[in-house]
A = this chain, B = another copy of it.
Amino acid sequence: MSEIVTAGILVIGDEILSGRTKDKNIGYIAEYLTNIGIDLKEVRVVSDDEADIVAALDALRARYTYVFTTGGIGPTHDDITADSVAKAFGVGIDHHPEVVARFRERFKDQELNEARLRMARIPDGGELIQSATILAPGFRIGNVIVMAGVPSIMQAMMDIIAPKLKSGVRMLSDTVKANAREGDIGTPLRAIQQNHPETIIGSYPFLDENGKPNTNLVVRSRDADKLAAAMNDVKIMLTGLNLPPR
């Protein structure tokens, strides 16, 4: 069985913490990683503050196989992600010649100002994440993958970097609608979880199409047989319920 590959996400930006911008990247990256067999274990959101970024980055990169950051790689003074990553890794940072060359093709001289050149600053040893449609590149250094905050650009960067990552045995998942309230099934469900320790059983209440309280039960495992055995016990339990009408 191959190793388990883990990840953390670090979202960087005052605008997320003030509520002005609603993050759309966490959910996207979470689903993406699940689909390629990488376990997302933790997310942090911090402000545009170098000390906070470095501290969060160091905590996450020490703990997980990969860390994905979003935000703070644009041309303005509040874009300090690349400098913070260089500081965390204790390496220098300078204008990357390949990025500068691309900018020279793309911008007139008067447009290639100090602010735009800021987007070419890459920590020493960083590997670029770029394509024809991406203006300011992301980069990878060590186990840290630095991406844009704008969702469409971040998504393009994920597609570029994903094939280069280790992936683990994919977590499999199966869902059944309980047609019961969560409180009706919590006790037998706990017993099933205890009998199937190599599965993770989750219980998620929702209001169904008739406006009635209902529950999705999700069984997850890296082993298809163990998943099926646990799901079988869940279905037997549900069939045997003798509930008053909801």
Contacts and interface: CB of A to CB of B under 8 A. Distances in A.
B22 A40 contact: no
Interface in A71-117: 74-79, 108, 111, 113-116
Number of copies: 2
A188 to B, nearest CB: 9
A115 B27 contact: no
Contacts of A29: 19
Interface stretch (A45-53, A122-130, A158-166, A231-239): A45-53
A183 B116 contact: yes
A197 to B, nearest CB: 12
Interface string A19-60: 111110011111111100001111111111000100000000
Chain A interface main SS type: mixed
Contacts of A204: 15, 20-21
A190 B77 contact: yes
Given A11-B43, A74-B205, A116-B186, 19 more contacts: A14-B220, A15-B204, A16-B26, A16-B43, A17-B30, A17-B39, A17-B43, A19-B31, A19-B33, A26-B45, A42-B47, A43-B44, A74-B203, A75-B183, A76-B185, A108-B244, A111-B183, A113-B184, A115-B189
Interface of A: 11, 14-23, 26-34, 39-48, 52, 74-79, 108, 111, 113-116, 118-119, 150, 171, 173, 182-187, 189-190, 193, 200-205, 218, 220, 244
